[in-house]
Amino acid sequence: MGLDVALWLLTTLVAWTWAAGGAIQQLLSGDTVLILRAAGHLAALLASALLLVQIVLMARLPALENTIGRDRIVRLHGKVGFSSFTLILAHIAIATLAYAGADVDRATTTFWHLTWTYPGMLLAVLGTVAIIVVVLTSPRIVRNRLNYESWHLLHLYAYLGAGLALPHQLWTGKDFLRSPILTDLWWAAWALTFAVILLWRLLIPLVRSIRHDVRVAGVVREGPRTVSVYMTGRRLDELAEPGQFLVWRFMDRPGWIRANPFSISAAPRPDRLRITVRESGDGTRSLATLEPGTRVLVEGAYGRLTARARTHPKVAFIGAGAGLAPLRSLAEGLAYAPGEAILLERCGNEPYLPQELDWLAETRGLRLVRLSGKRRRRTSWVGEGYDGASDSDVIRRWVPDLAERDVYVCGPPRWAKSVRRALRKAGLPPDQLHVESFG
């Protein structure tokens, strides 16, 4: 709710700035060129403001990540990013047509002239190209064809695009030219934003990694495509809580700037952290070759699947794929009596750490239900063997006291969405549902 209010306030402020510059009079003038200038001006202001919001959303501020949740931030990031990109293209087209005197035939030559003669325009065009690269690689169909490391590197071009576009705004934007105070405020807003990026995504992770002296202790092959990486260091239990994830950079390889988000797969100890990863790309496959002693840079921790979200003594965990890692650490780290916790594991051909989950069932009294086989349909989270039962019926069958439990859900986005829908139909109160999805 807070983010929605902030966006509305920002939009209102932008509209007021636009109107205060005489835009309303231009719209009412009846002059096509003046109308185009007013419309292009509004598109530019809104695009710039939303671009600023985009950068803040990319900063991974713990206050946002841990209260609003990564899922909602990602959804908002996509909506704001698409809106900002659309407004940038609209501004370019409308402003070019306005400078061309509303003559479409002169638009191409006018754009070329503006690019090479107006202050900051060439930088802005290059920045727009960088943002186009980010937008074109964002749809799921494209992301699925790229390994995570390449996609992450391309996505960093958003910072480059924003930085290159800034001079054009300040050097030629009439609001900033007529108002030194507004110019100073805009500079301050961008300076603060980039300071937050440097602080939370570079300086703080670097200091924490050095202070905790995070290093690889060893690598264990857990299955044909799954490895666990054990880390050692000082006071590692202060870095993360059970259920959270960190962003990891292993310093033994080229391209270490490319980071991967992995959940811890065991409750943190003062001298040990562990991640368990299924190989899915170059970065994950290379984990098997890590040498003991390799220094590790960590960023985070992030995520709301922690004991802090809990409201009831009884809990239920529902997970699939990479989402089983945080649930495995929660099943170990949370306090509960025998029979008060149940894990519904959606597993394929390779169950997730089966010996460890069986050990938790024996020693902690965790009820373990493995739902194997192919999903019976794309909109279902359930495997084979439950013909005639709805998704919510399956949940009620295994968790008849659902309303008395907190439910932690983690897995692929579409799968997690189907679980959320089934839980809602099964009668789970919304404040007892805690969801994170990993794409």
Give the pLDDT confidence of 2-47 residue by residue, as tens digits: 566 667 777 777 777 777 777 777 777 778 888 888 888 788 888 8
Instruction: Give strand pairing partners of 342.
Output: 316, 367
pLDDT value of position 269: 92
Peptide bond into 422 cis (omega under 30): no
Helix (H, G, I), strand (E, B) or coil at 346: strand
Instruction: Give strand pairing partners of 433.
Output: 407
Helix (H) or strand (E) holding 202: none
Q: Where are the alpha helices (DSSP H) in 173-323?
A: 174-178, 180-198, 204-212, 282-285
Is the CB of residue 118 less than 8 Å from the CB of residue 167?
no
* Gap between the Cα atoms of 438 and 417, Å rounded: 11
Q: What percent of the chain has pLDDT over 70?
A: 82
Check whether 175 has a pLDDT greater than 60.
no
- The confidence band for 348, taking pLDDT boundaries of 50, 70 and 90, is low
Check whether 312 has a pLDDT greater than 80.
yes
Check whether 116 has a pLDDT greater than 60.
yes
| Whole-number Cα distances in Å, 127 to 58, 93, 164, 187, 250 | 17, 16, 5, 18, 30
Look up residue 233 and give its two tokens. Answer: 């260091």
Residue-wise pLDDT for 357-411, tens only, equals 889 888 888 998 887 766 666 667 776 666 667 878 888 888 888 888 999 998 8
Q: What percent of the chain has pLDDT over 90?
A: 9
Residue-wise pLDDT for 47-57, tens only, equals 878 877 877 77
Residue-wise pLDDT for 247-268, tens only, equals 888 887 665 566 788 889 989 9
Tokens 């598109």 correspond to 43
Domains in the chain: ranges and CATH:
2-178 (no CATH), 214-302 (2.40.30.10), 307-437 (3.40.50.80)
Mean pLDDT of the chain: 80
* Gap between the Cα atoms of 149 and 101, Å rounded: 46
